[in-house]
Amino acid sequence: MLKLVVAIVTLFLSAVSFAQTATNKLQTTAYKFEITPFVGYRTGGRFEEINGDAEFKLTESESLGFLFNVAANANGQYEFLYAQQSTEVDSAGLFVSDPRFGLDVEYYQFGGTYLFDSDVARPFIALTIGMSRFDPQPAEFSAESFFSASFGGGVQLNPGGRFGVRLEGRVYTSLIDDNSRIFCGSDGGVGGCLIELDGTLLTQWEARAGFVFRF
């Protein structure tokens, strides 16, 4: 009788241990991927002319993009970021006939996210590096690409469900080439560049909200 009880208890404990292991594994691997389309508002960013006589400020405006995350472990994710902003550059009166010109700003970056432990609202931090692309309008002027990085933090709501919300603030920094001419082109056989600038960092800040899809 004692042997039977011991066998039943052993079998029960083994079953509980197996169920717990399976549950933990299911929770860890249930949602390996996340796609997060987001909308935001971006501010900051300016170019300084090489002789210091003028500044070219980017107008604050709406932004949009998406994130693609892949689970690395219980608290870490790999992250791909695409973010886009259609804005204008204020030339501070340097171009009398047209003091503003359009500019599309894009970020293509890869990095990682660390999520802190929580069930309802899960805080996180993120760091990515990659490329920024500045595409001026009119189209006859060339686009420019620079090395860039970003750092952000925020919170994920309903982090264990198939659907969730991601609230985040992020800062972007682009390393601008030293003593360079940018946005160059020709119109009617006459060539030139919109801006001649000194080497500097261009920094932008963004607040955004996204809807998370997990699978």
Confidence of residue 188 (pLDDT cuts 50, 70, 90): low
Question: Does 16 have pLDDT greater than 50?
Answer: no
Least confident span in 46-50, 107-111, 208-212? 46-50
Nearest to 149 by CA among 83, 89, 199: 83
Is domain 32-214 classified as CATH 3.40.50.1220? no
Least confident span in 3-7, 36-40, 78-82, 144-148? 3-7
Tell me how far apart the alpha carbons of residues 206 and 211 are, in angstroms, rounded to a whole number.
17
- Domain map (residue ranges) of the chain: 1-30, 32-214
Nearest to 126 by CA among 141, 116, 111, 139: 111
Strands, DSSP E only, in 44-143? 46-48, 55-58, 61-71, 76-90, 100-115, 121-137
Q: How far is CA 50 from CA 42, 44, 181, 198, in A?
A: 26, 20, 9, 4
The 3-state DSSP composition of the chain as helix, strand, coil percent (nearest 5) reads 15, 65, 25
